[in-house]
Copies of this chain bind each other. A is one copy, B any other.
Amino acid sequence: MKLIVVKDFEEMSRVSSEIVLGVMHRNERVNIAPTTGTTPVGLYKIIVERIKNKSYFNHVHYYNFDETPFRVSKKEGRIITNLRQMFLTPANIQEKNIHPLDQSNFMTRDQELAEFGGLDLVILGLGEDGHFCCNFPGYAKFSQKTVEIPLQGKLYELYKGVFAEEKEIPEALITMGPSAILASKKLLLMVSGKAKAEICKQALFGEIKEDVPGSILRTHPDITIVVDEDAASLF
């Protein structure tokens, strides 16, 4: 793993944008799986400004790596909706370059990706509980490829608040599991803030175990981890 400790959120975003733009500038089709959440907000601000309406980035394709679908309504899931709002729509990405993951296609996603050369880059954040994508402690298995995770127990409690209407809470989440994410050619992990300091130390320097799902990421042969000083304060 390559670890880069930077001053703050802004520098984390800037350094990360260099890595992402470096991959985007390749001469052929590029497949990227970008995260949602608060960590990449600064990154996407930089990237959107740079790639918006630039035809020389038309070969870049986007795949969301997890989804929390709505149970009843037929609208797109929460993750792809967020990703559109914070990144894809302001960047004016063509619809043909957007590949939403959902209940209808998750079982064939790994195969489909392989046919188009596989993922070139996954942009990841780390949860305070050590999760990445929808790989949560107590649920994640390092062996999982792209799977459905039944929304039960602690996970149900965690998610019920995020749906305005109870009838919309889905029976299951969908996520690329650790083995599917590690199959990407390159990984970028961003971690920011004091609240992440403890889990960041565990994930980067502690035992590699399923209770800290993010701990497996550092075994990837081409991962860059960009951490701000707050998140690195316990190293």
Q: Which residues of A are at the interface with B, using a C-beta cutoff of 8 A?
A: 2, 4, 18-19, 21-23, 25, 27-29, 50, 56, 59, 114-118, 141-143, 178-179, 182-185, 205-208, 215-216, 218-222, 224
| Complex: chain B residue closest to A21, CB-CB | B18
> Are A208's CB and B142's CB within 8 A?
yes
Copies in the complex: 4
| Complex: chain B residue closest to A54, CB-CB | B4
| Complex: chain B residue closest to A56, CB-CB | B4
C-alpha spacing A142/B23, complex, angstroms: 29
| Complex: chain B residue closest to A18, CB-CB | B21
The distance from the CB of A180 to the nearest CB of chain B, in whole angstroms, is 10
> Are B178's CB and A219's CB within 8 A?
yes
| Complex: chain B residue closest to A5, CB-CB | B56
> Are A18's CB and B28's CB within 8 A?
no
> Are B29's CB and A114's CB within 8 A?
yes
| Complex: chain B residue closest to A178, CB-CB | B219
The distance from the CB of A204 to the nearest CB of chain B, in whole angstroms, is 10
- Contacts A21-B22, A59-B114, A179-B219 known; list 4 others, CB within 8 Å: A2-B27, A22-B23, A27-B221, A184-B221
Are A179 and B22 also in contact (CB < 8 A) when A56-B4, A208-B141 are? no
> Are A224's CB and B25's CB within 8 A?
yes
> Are B50's CB and A18's CB within 8 A?
yes
The distance from the CB of A181 to the nearest CB of chain B, in whole angstroms, is 9
C-alpha spacing A119/B23, complex, angstroms: 18
